[in-house]
Amino acid sequence: MSVPILELRGVHTHIGSYHILHGVDLQVPEGEVTVLLGRNGAGKTTTLRTVMGLWRASAGELRFRGRPVQHLATPDIARLGLAYVPEAMGIFVDLTVQENMLLAARAARHVGELDAARLDWIFELFPALKKFWLYPAGKLSGGQKQMLSVARAICEPRDLVLIDEPSKGLAPAIVQNLIAALRALKAQRSSVLLVEQNFAMASALGDHAAVMDNGRIVHSGPMSALVQDPALQQRLLGLSLGATA
């Protein structure tokens, strides 16, 4: 396993009176894709939001490149080189695709300052964004909105991208487009922590798998081992998901 870019050590998170994370231990190796799996309500989204400081860890340590970050505000965490694609996509529906991208680019104050080479790379990944560059984001299809959400997260180089359920509700062709885009991101040595219920997508992308249950990591290991072991899938996830991949 590569050196971890992100480590969670005994992380607890409370949301109001609810105790959601119960001592999460997780390592995300640098330059690879770690997939966080588990049943609905297991704590996966809470884990991503805790990493980003959107919900505050009530105990434990979060380290990014060895630096404790659990007490930092979300903008300060983002400035370290993290990006987050929420399940709700997080785009501005009343703004154009161009304006959405410009807001996500910290180094650009106007369109002319966007990194042209990186923008061309993004257009290669998601041609629809070039086609609808000046359209309001709210008029895009669901798949195109997800493309924009991912594109916003990678409009500038990021060391670690957290992505929550990108394939949810999307047509198979769009899912394949997202898989290709995330493989291209991985080829640039970006690290990815991916929450994904689509086991075919998870197995196509993941180097490592971590399975959550009741706010804890109950399994961690190579994704290939989980893919090849239907009994382990059944025990951890409740379904022999490999049969549907």
Q: Is the dihedral of CA 65, 105, 186, 83 positive or negative?
A: positive
Note the pLDDT of residue 1.
52
Residue 110 counted as domain residue: yes
Residue 2 counted as domain residue: no
Residue 119 counted as domain residue: yes
How many domains does one find in the chain?
A: 1
pTM assigned to the model: 0.92
With bands split at pLDDT 50, 70 and 90, how would you rate the model's confidence at 238?
confident
Residue 233 counted as domain residue: no
**Whole-number Å distance between alpha carbons of 79 and 91:** 19
Q: Domain limits at 143? A: 91-157
Residue 206 counted as domain residue: no
Note the pLDDT of residue 242.
41
Burial class (CB in 10 A: 0-12, 13-18, 19+), 7: middle
Residue 120 counted as domain residue: yes
241: pLDDT strictly greater than 60: no
Query: What six digits make up the tokens of 31?
Result: 């330059």
Query: What six digits make up the tokens of 221?
Result: 């290991």
Residue 106 counted as domain residue: yes
Residue with tokens 């959400």: 149
Residue 107 counted as domain residue: yes
